[in-house]
Amino acid sequence: MPEPLTARAGTESGEPFYLAAGNEVALFEQCHARQLAVMLKGPTGCGKTRFIEHMAWRLQRPLITIACHDDLSASDLIGRFLIRHDGTVWQDGPLTRAVREGAICYLDEVVEARQDTVVVLHPLTDYRRMLPIDKTGETLEAAPGFQLVVSYNPGYQRMLKDLKPSTRQRFVALDFDFPPLQAEVAIVEREGGANHATAHALVTLGQRLRGLQDRGLAEVPSTRLLIAAARLIASGIPEREACRAAIVAPLSDEATLVGAMRDLVDASFI
Ligand SMILES: Nc1ncnc2c1ncn2[C@@H]1O[C@H](COP(=O)(O)OP(=O)(O)OP(=O)(O)O)[C@@H](O)[C@H]1O
Ligand SMILES: [Mg+2]
């Protein structure tokens, strides 16, 4: 049966490009060596997923990614018995596979998962690194390279939905944010296929738009959106049009804010 929840990034592919902002690579390497679980905190589109893809490549570990949502159950993570014509067979879930294979297991947007799902992670984060599988009576010990990594976007305004302290305190947290200007220019240039001047103009625009947060813009443009605009421009779409479609429109429906953003776009690409 296909696994819609998971995606794998093979170690045999080339190095995923990641431009470090600080000491996060060395810090993560130490966490991996010391078998510490890690939480990546930061706004959408700032490089968390790319970072973990890069680290899995660097550490030569398989990467198993699980997108969390509020319907995700413990069985979705651990596994279930499947009924077939010739009887029932046990099928490992992605977390169990990662535990057996010694993979890095990345739970994206962990705060979206229900508490009763999140607690199955707890025994894996203490020194025993165990995964009890109630349905089969097995208790697995995590293979040496196994590491639990979760991502968490603290920016969302969801008062009721947050991680419990008992969960949070099981992780070393790495803070992510949008890169400084020159670094973001290099990323947009490379990932968006834009020339240096265009990448620079897009990042400068992005920084100005991020300034609109004080004026009520709830979602600010991520590096991902700037890259999308760069790609459109690189494929021949006029700059202003590309920025409106790839940056302004996704961020807001509110006429005043859209107007203010369009003005900034027009001022950036004359
Ligand atoms: N430091 C970086 N080095 C290289 N590429 C980066 C970096 N930061 C962002 N990017 C680029 O931005 C894109 C979006 O980043 P990514 O998907 O990792 O964001 P994210 O933090 O996982 O977002 P989300 O919370 O929405 O999942 C990447 O595909 C990559 O092209
Ligand atoms: Mg991500």
Mutate to test the pocket of ligand 1, among 50, 151, 202 (most ligand atoms within 8 A of CB): 50
Mutate to test the pocket of ligand 1, among 152, 187, 202 (most ligand atoms within 8 A of CB): 187
pLDDT given at position 165: 86
How far apart, in whole angstroms, are the C-alpha atoms of residue 87 and residue 167? 38
Q: What percent of the chain has pLDDT over 70?
A: 93
Environment class of 115 (CB within 10 Å of its CB; exposed 0-12, middle 13-18, buried 19+): exposed
Q: Which atom of ligand 1 is nearest to the CA of 50?
A: 18
Alpha helices in 62-103 (DSSP H): 74-78, 94-101
- The pTM for the full model equals 0.91
* 48 Cβ inside 6 Å of ligand 1: yes
**Is residue 155 helix, strand or coil?**
coil
Residue 140 parent element (H or E): strand 138-141
Which ligand lies nearest to the CA atom of residue 188 in the structure? 1
How far lies 135's CA from each of 90, 121, 131, 132, 150, in Å?
A: 9, 16, 12, 9, 25
Nearest to 142 by CA among 107, 96, 93, 106: 96
Sequential pLDDT tens for the chain (270 residues):
444 333 444 444 589 999 999 999 999 999 999 999 999 999 999 999 999 999 999 999 999 999 999 999 999 999 999 999 989 999 999 999 999 999 999 999 888 888 889 999 999 998 889 999 999 999 999 999 999 999 988 866 554 467 888 888 899 999 999 999 999 999 999 999 999 999 999 999 999 999 998 888 888 999 999 999 999 999 999 999 999 999 999 999 999 999 999 999 999 998
How far lies 147's CA from each of 60, 62, 109, in Å?
A: 12, 10, 17
**Conformation bin of residue 193: beta by default, left when phi > 0, alpha when psi is -120 to 50:** left
